[in-house]
Amino acid sequence: MEFVIELLSATMRLATPIALAAMGAAVCERSGIVNIAMEGLMLIGAFFAAAVALATGSPWLGLLGGVIFGGLFSLLHAWSTVTLHINHTVSGAIINILAAGLTRFFMVEFYGHPGSSDMVQKTLGDLNCAVPLLSKIPLLGPVLFDQSPTVYFMYFFVLFTSFLLNRTKLGLHIRAAGEHPMALETLGISVKKIRYIGVLYSGLLCGFAGSFLAIEYGRFFTEGMTGGRGFIALAANVSGGWTAVGSFVAAIFFGFIDALQLKLQVMGIFKIPPEFFHMLPYAATVIAVAGLVRRSRPPADSGNDFSIEKEM
Amino acid sequence: MTESDAIVLETRNISKRFPRVLANNNINITLRKGEIISLLGENGAGKSTLMNVLYGLYRPTTGTILLNGEEVEFSSPRDAINRGMGMVHQHFMLVDPLTVTENIILGMEPGRRGVIDYKAARKEVKDLSDRYRLEIDPDSLVEDLPVGLQQRVEILKALYRKARILILDEPTAVLTPGEVEDLFKVIHRLRDSGVSVIIITHKLEEVRAISDRVYILRRGEIAGERRTSDCTKTDLANLMVGRDVVLTVSKDKHEAADKASFEIKNLNVINDRHVRVINDLSLSVRPGEIVGIAGVDGNGQTELAEAIMGQMVQESGEILFKGNPVQNLSTRARRDLGISYVPTDRQKAGLVLPFTIAENVILGSQDEAPFSKGLALQRKPIAEYSRKLVKDYDVRCASIDEEVSNLSGGNQQKVILAREFSREPDFLLVSQPTRGLDVGAIEYIHSQILKMREKNSAILLISLELEEIFSLADRILVLFEGKIVKEFDPSETNDKEVGLYMTGGN
């Protein structure tokens, strides 16, 4: 029982950055922009979260810094894809490379050396708090409600994103922008604006996810510390059928595989090199995407450039 | 409608210049309250540009728009919508996976603080559809509706925004004869409730059937204005094209051979979604005969054409060409036997758009003498051949080295015709040869098809345009849900009767 609770509790924590970024991906893709830049946005978020937390000593300000810089950096993707009409994949790839280079540059600039930053004194993980009553539910209580604040934020953003997409005016506009942008434009709503909002939303949440990696899951920033989680989040969104709840379920699946491989490594029952276990979450991604994607339908106009002149 | 009715819309000297063309030049039109006018013109005459100016998508280079006598300036469709303009675009501006309600309220959703009140929205849509007697289920997904109903959603969308002037861009292009009749009823009902309507079209019949007045647009200018009650179809056609045109090509009697050279026996095709799209279909075509396949889009036309050409796997059945089965041959082998094909989508399937005219006309024979020797293409014979074809088929172009993407639709189709017809095929499959083309080009293409009939080709013509089927075919087969449901002799039937079978009635 202890083992199961630990495993599932770790699942929720490890699913958190993926779920957060996947919520961003859901909104961004539904608005019509493919965002493979999420990996880089997370990395930027992770760096600034650590930097601000180190400078101020406050993990909350660190989180705010990560979110803001993730959002700012995402505007670069919005600008290049929406305003400059650059191919989404190309822009995303460039931003990922830029993020890796920039964070290294800032490491040297701020701390005098590449690699890892100093440890932050206090992390978000240290603020772990059990929700009264709810955490007393057998099994589910400790798994879901004895977590750090970031995990609760993640729950909130799953519900919020689902509500945003399905019940609000903005959500309807976002869905229309990704399916048939001209339909929206002919009703006098700017597709460009909606797509900027979609990308920005993903940037803010990637910043959040990056902050989680640097100052909740870890205690410092390391170059390349996102380790492909931005891409896994993208895969979670695709496997989840471009919906918030679906993406959340897929993120939990990836979190579970990740938690499982860590447990298996620690237990050391099998005489298998640890690299094999490291591989599991990525292998699961490939299998999940290959198995599930064919059954779900992407937003019809996602990845396509939009300009009024071309459409008429 | 009387002359004294108030003028609701007036344009004064509207011009719209694009970097390379003057799309509208000094356009002056007026529209009265409760009036239906048509804007007639060939493709590229500037009709859609003008409508997009009126709807705020484009800003005019010069000129002014007056609504109810007051000068207005639209910087986006939102301004136009707020001033009571509504538009139903030719390609519907509907979001397929959303519901009817969501599509109608999009951009003007009821609700507070950004949250949509779906209950109120649904009720408003229901009220609206009751008031104008435009029945629709507010909860169905747009993608599940037939085209006629999708158009209804578009009209409701405009009415929801309280449109007093409704612009319909080529509204009948995708409708069946029955749906067209319904649409006309709806338009009359709207007119009676005080809405003014502008219909953009290149179909002469439509102009006379529905509108009070017509403006004819030619090369960006108004070539004339007529009351529809005082003009004939020929008048309109001549004004539109700028020369005398023949509306229906005269079809000489031509004796077809007795024995069919092309036959299909019990063909079955199942698509990749496991739906039977061609159902036990049999037909035959004799040399010197045109067999027309009539039907509403989506009843198996594409699949039939692809199965004949070997681009789609058939489940069972036989395709016989000159008595020999060809169903197991590759597309290339079928073409080599003397089968030619003019595909539906000229830009995607018929041509390679970024290639030149010369490259396109030798496509398919590029590895044969005299066009190639060893691995190299032979420029000279290719150039000579394409120059001849361009001349024979009257392709209007700067040179044979021009990219086909720069040609007009009619000239693109002529390039395909040149390639396919010049092979002198014994069997010719022609699918929607005049889709989206204007009167002048249609006239030419029809005459070329009849020429092939004189040369004793067996011709299978698939078309969504009943008028085309009637003016060309010697026999009409009606395709419905992948089945030939009826055969007609065109001289013993009419479009109403054929239309009935097309929609599954009998």
Q: Which residue has the tokens 């942008």?
A: A181
Q: Which of B48, B51, B95 best probes binding to A when mutated, by most A CB atoms within 10 angstroms?
A: B95
Give chain A positions within 8 Å (CB) of B106.
172-173, 176, 183-184, 187, 189
Q: What are phi and psi of B134, to 5 degrees?
A: -110, 85
Please spell the DSSP secondary structure of B268-307, one letter per residue. EEE-TTS-EEEEEEEEEE-TT-EEEEE--TTSSHHHHHHH
Contact B95 A183 (CB under 8 A): yes
Most confident of A108-112, A195-199, A306-310, B48-52: A195-199
Q: How many contacts (CB atoms, under 8 Å) link A and B? A: 78
Write out chain B residues lying below 8 Å of A178, CB-based: none
CA distance A189 to B50: 21
For residue B46, the model assigns a pLDDT of 83
Q: In chain A, how many H helices and how many E strands?
A: 13, 2
Record: contact A189-B109, CB cut-off 8 A: no
Residue A239 DSSP SS3? helix
Q: Which of B328, B250, B337, B301 is nearest to B480 (CA)?
A: B301
Check if B147 contacts A (Cβ < 8 Å): no
Share of chain B above pLDDT 70, in %: 97
As a whole number of Å, the end-to-end CA separation of chain A is: 63
What superfamily does domain B252-338+425-501 belong to in CATH? P-loop containing nucleotide triphosphate hydrolases (3.40.50.300)
DSSP A83: I
H or E element: which one contains B427?
A: strand B427-431
Q: Under an 8 A CB cutoff, do A167 and B116 touch?
A: yes
pLDDT at A193 over 80: yes
> Tell me: the pLDDT tens digits for B301-353?
989 999 999 988 888 899 999 989 998 999 999 999 999 999 988 888 889 98
Q: What percent of chain A has pLDDT over 90?
A: 59
CB within 8 Å: A312 and B114: no
Of B57, B98, B115, the CB nearest to A175: B98
The yes-or-no verdict on residue A311 having pLDDT over 60 is no
* Chain B residues close to A172, C-beta within 8 Å: 98, 102, 105-106, 109, 116
Contacts of B123 (CB under 8 A, 6+ apart): none
Q: pLDDT per position in chain B (506 positions), as tens?
A: 444 578 899 999 999 888 777 888 889 999 999 899 999 887 777 888 888 899 988 889 999 999 988 899 988 888 999 999 999 988 889 999 999 999 999 988 998 889 999 999 999 999 999 888 888 999 999 988 888 889 999 999 999 999 999 999 888 877 777 788 888 999 999 999 889 999 998 778 888 888 999 998 888 888 888 888 888 887 888 887 777 666 666 677 777 778 889 999 999 998 877 788 899 999 999 999 999 999 887 788 989 999 999 988 888 899 999 989 998 999 999 999 999 999 988 888 889 988 999 999 998 888 888 888 888 888 899 999 999 998 888 888 888 888 888 787 788 889 999 999 998 899 999 999 988 777 778 888 899 999 999 999 999 999 988 888 998 999 999 999 899 999 999 888 887 788 888 877 66
Query: What residues of chain B lie within 8 A of the CB of A182, using their CB?
Result: 93
Rounded Cα distance between A188 and B81, Å, is: 8
- Structure tokens that stand for B445 in this block: 């293409």
What residues in A contact B163, CB-CB < 8 Å? Answer: none
The 10 Å CB-count burial string (b at 16+, else e) for A68-84 is bbbbbbbebbbebbbee
Q: How large is the average pLDDT for residues A105-116?
A: 90
DSSP per-residue codes, A175-232: HHHHH-HHHHHTTT--HHHHHHHHHHHHHHHHHHHHHHIIIIISSS-BTTTTTTHHHH
Quick one: closest CA in A to B157, which residue? A187
Interchain pair B106, A183: CB under 8 A: yes
How many other β-carbons are positioned within 10 Å of the β-carbon of residue A18? 33
Q: Which residue of B has its CA nearest to A178?
A: B95
Instruction: Quote the CA–CA distance of A57 and A71 in Å, as a whole number.
Output: 22
Distance in Å, alpha carbon of B119 to nearest chain A alpha carbon: 12
Give CA separation, B11 vs A157, A250, B21, B48, B220, in Å.
51, 57, 20, 15, 14
| CA atoms lying within 13 Å on the CB side of residue B122 | 8
Q: What per-residue confidence (pLDDT) applies to B2?
A: 47
Q: Do A183 and B103 touch (CB under 8 A)?
A: yes
Name the pairing type of β-strands B290-294 and B458-463: parallel
Measured between alpha carbons, how far is residue A256 from residues A8, A15, A235, A253 in Å?
A: 7, 7, 15, 5
Token pair in block for residue A252? 């939990």
- Nearest-Cα distance to chain A for B481, in Å, is 26
Q: CA-to-CA distance for B276 and B481, rounded, in angstroms?
A: 9
CA dihedral A145→A147→A149→A152, nearest 10 degrees, is: -40
Cα first-last separation, chain B: 39
Strands B36-41 and A129-130: unpaired
At residue B420, the pLDDT reads: 92
Q: Do B109 and A182 touch (CB under 8 A)?
A: no
- Range B7-241 has CATH code 3.90.1150.10: no
In 3-state terms, what secondary structure has residue B6?
Answer: coil
CATH 3.40.50.300 domain locations along chain B: 7-241, 252-338+425-501
What pLDDT score was predicted for residue A309? 61
For B116, which of A169, A189, A297 is closest by C-beta distance?
A169
| 8 Å CB contact between A32 and A166 | no
Among B residues 62-91, those touching chain A with beta carbons less than 8 Å apart: 76-81, 87, 89
Contact: A312, B93; criterion CB under 8 Å: no
DSSP B345-376: -IIIII--TTSBHHHHHTTTSTTSTTTEETTE
Q: Residue B168: what pLDDT?
A: 92
Measure CB to CB from residue B106 to each of A184, A297, A300 and give the nearest one: A184
Q: Which of A2, A148, A123 is nearest to A59 (CA)?
A: A123
Pick the CATH number of A2-126+138-306 from 1.10.3470, 2.30.30, 3.30.200, 1.10.10: 1.10.3470
Element (H, E) at A103: helix A88-111
Beta bridge pairs of residue B65: B11, B72
pTM of the model: 0.77
User: Nearest 5°: phi and psi at B191?
Assistant: -60, -45
Identify which has the larger pLDDT, B102 or A142.
Answer: B102
Q: Does B96 touch chain A (CB under 8 A)?
A: yes
pLDDT of residue A12: 92
Residues of B in contact with A297 (CB under 8 A): 97
Which chain B residues are within 8 Å of A173, Cβ to Cβ? 106-107
Q: Which of A167, A187, A190 sits opposite B106 (nearest CB)?
A: A187
**B residues 29..48 contacting A (CB < 8 A):** 48
**Token pair for residue A79?**
């600008």
B95 contact residues in A (CB cutoff 8 A): 175-176, 179-180, 183
DSSP-derived pairing of the beta strands B316-321 and B290-294: unpaired
What does DSSP assign to residue B41? E
CA pair distance B21, B98, nearest whole angstrom: 38
Strand pairing category for B483-488 and B339-342: unpaired
**Chain A residues touching B83 at Cβ < 8 A:** none
Residues of A in contact with B78 (CB under 8 A): 187-189
- B36-41 and B7-17 beta bridge pairing: unpaired
Task: Look at B94 and A180 and tell me if their CB atoms are within 8 Å.
Answer: yes
Residue in chain B closest to A191 (alpha carbons) equals B107
Which residue bears the tokens 């597309």?
Answer: B331
The string of pLDDT tens digits covering residues A222-257 is 999 998 999 999 999 988 889 999 999 999 998 999
Type of residue at B405: S
Tell whether B52 lies on the interface with A, counting CB pairs under 8 A. Answer: yes
Nearest C-alpha in B relative to A172: B106
Under the banding of pLDDT at 50, 70 and 90, the label for residue A272 is confident
Quote ipTM for the complex.
Answer: 0.85
**DSSP assignment letter at B407:** S
- The two beta strands, B22-27 and B165-169, are unpaired
